[in-house]
Amino acid sequence: MNIVLLSPHFPPNYCRFAVGARRAEANVLGIGDMPYDRLSDTLKAALTEYYWVDNLHDYDRVMRACGYFVHKYGRIDALESHNEYWLETDARLRLDFNIPGLRPAQLAALKRKSQMKARFREAGIEVAPGGVIHTEPEARAFVAEIGYPLVAKPDVGVGAAGTYKLRGEADLERFLAERPPSVDYLLESFIVGKLHSFDGLTDQQGRIVFAAAHFYEPGILDVVNANLDVYACSYREIPAELAEAGRRAVRAFDVRARFFHIEFFHAPDDRWIAIEMNVRPPGGLMMDVFNYANDADLYAEWANVVLFDSFSAVIERPYHVAFIGRKQHRPYRHTHAQVLEHCASRLVHHQPVEPIFARAMGEYAYILRAPDFDQMREAIAYVMAVEL
């Protein structure tokens, strides 16, 4: 069996997808723009072969790399980057080499938030009122109909990049002056609520074989725009209405043999409002949060799913697990050394965050776990405490 991993070195923890595939006795074939001698020892040991290209945006180069692998090893059984950025490249390569998985024709509803919104509605899942605007008159007409506050975000985009919160006329004027004219923007009502995610992995028939749920404080929009720190904490028991909305979304988007990350707002009146669907793992170190919450190896389970349609991990969620990202400019009450000492019994991992993720996920990350939520809440409060 042959698995091609596109950009297998990024983010660094994703090298464990290669490790998991190698444990499944696959040929693990990497294509990336980082020179081989700069790859981690862990990744080098897992790769059967690595094909370096100086520019992953050069599709002809990447296609030739796949052609070389087919010539040497035979048919490619799976190809994946696990990265939103390469979603279209992945799909195009699957089409050109007849590899199972998402194809280009399926991507519109997974890339355009306006089409996601329509798909959610068809599945009976509530969404915020909104629509795509192309001109200033369209924007002003939408404001007149819906009213403030609003959110303006690129119809195609990742996370909170390029997103504006519009509280009134001054914010609207700034958005209209700054938005790139070539980018379609979605305007929608600003929803007050706590950000949640329903995450998981499906088998080749689209059945959910692994599920998790997390709540985030504060929301990613506030984290990015106000440069705040952030944490995400897992549930041991997934809220029933969130799980039901998540399952309907997975069916509606026909997610097969893939991780998914679906974002919802939980409104004060107990409504669950869908924000967006992502057919990838949640970002940063959240794959490791999955594993620590279950004492499992979801990197390896993904390889088993795509190669053999098999999932063997026992998912009982014995722990609440939290990812905490701190930012250097914040006046934290407790030093890094104090955090390590105070949280020693609950701290399972800590490391610097890749600079590209720092705005959304902090510059230094801690992963904590505890079976009791009160213990987790105390640890989170200790790590995030700031001087007033």
* Within a domain: 124: no
* Within a domain: 120: no
Residue 293 scores a pLDDT above 70? yes
The tens digit of pLDDT for each residue in 75-105 reads 999 999 999 999 999 999 999 999 999 999 9
* Within a domain: 255: yes
Pair (339, 268) in one structural domain: yes
| Domain of residue 183, CATH code | 3.30.1490.20
Residue 325 scores a pLDDT above 90? yes
- Mean pLDDT of all residues in the chain? 94
pLDDT for 221:
64
Question: At 352, is the secondary structure helix, strand, or coil?
Answer: strand
Residue 160 scores a pLDDT above 60? no
The tens digit of pLDDT for each residue in 8-59 reads 999 999 999 999 999 999 999 999 999 999 999 999 999 999 999 999 999 9
Higher pLDDT, 225 or 339: 339
170 vs 145, 148, 162, 250, 337, CA distance in Å?
A: 18, 12, 17, 39, 44
pLDDT for 366:
97
pLDDT for 222:
67
73 vs 5, 43, 51, 68, 205, CA distance in Å?
A: 14, 19, 13, 8, 27
For residues 163 and 151, is the Cβ–Cβ distance under 8 A? yes
Pair (226, 336) in one structural domain: yes
Domains: count for the chain: 3
pLDDT for 258:
97
| Domain of residue 88, CATH code | 3.40.50.20
Pair (290, 203) in one structural domain: yes
Pair (222, 282) in one structural domain: yes
How confident is the model over 147-164, as a mean pLDDT?
81
The DSSP code for 127 is B
Token pair, residue 44, equals 């080098």
Higher pLDDT, 182 or 329: 329
* Within a domain: 77: yes
Residue 74 scores a pLDDT above 70? yes
Tell me phi and psi for residue 288, to 5 degrees: -70, -30
Rounded CA-CA distance 364/366 in Å is 7
Higher pLDDT, 225 or 340: 340
pLDDT for 39:
98
The tens digit of pLDDT for each residue in 167-213 reads 999 999 999 999 888 888 999 999 889 999 999 999 999 999 999 99
Pair (65, 172) in one structural domain: no
Domain that holds residue 41: 2-106
Q: Which amino acid is at 85?
A: Y
How confident is the model over 234-250, as a mean pLDDT?
98
Domain final residue pick, 69, 91, 106: 106
Higher pLDDT, 67 or 359: 67
Pair (352, 279) in one structural domain: yes
Domain final residue pick, 154, 189, 224: 189
* Within a domain: 218: yes
How confident is the model over 216-222, as a mean pLDDT?
72
| Domain of residue 323, CATH code | 3.30.470.20
Parallel, antiparallel or unpaired: strands 364-370 and 320-326: antiparallel
pLDDT for 49:
98
Rounded CA-CA distance 115/166 in Å is 22
Pair (355, 313) in one structural domain: yes
Pair (296, 276) in one structural domain: yes
pLDDT for 13:
95
Question: What is the side-by-side order of every strand in the sheet holding 27-32?
Answer: 49-52, 27-32, 2-6, 78-80
How confident is the model over 364-380, as a mean pLDDT?
96
Pair (45, 135) in one structural domain: no
Residue 159 scores a pLDDT above 90? no
Pair (258, 348) in one structural domain: yes
* Within a domain: 119: no
Pair (243, 320) in one structural domain: yes
For residues 296 and 307, is the Cβ–Cβ distance under 8 A? no
Task: Please state whether the peptide bond connecting residue 137 to the residue before it is cis, i.e. omega within 30 degrees of 0.
Answer: no
Domain final residue pick, 189, 216, 239: 189
Pair (182, 198) in one structural domain: no
Assign 3-state DSSP to the chain and report helix, strand, coil percentages, each to 5: 40, 25, 35
Query: Which of 31-35, 156-160, 162-166, 366-370 is predicted least confidently?
Result: 156-160
Token pair, residue 179, equals 């938005």
**pTM of the entire predicted model:** 0.92
* Within a domain: 114: no
* Within a domain: 113: no
DSSP alpha helix (H) spans, the chain: 15-23, 41-46, 59-73, 87-97, 108-111, 113-122, 136-146, 169-178, 220-226, 240-252, 286-294, 298-308, 336-342, 358-361, 373-384
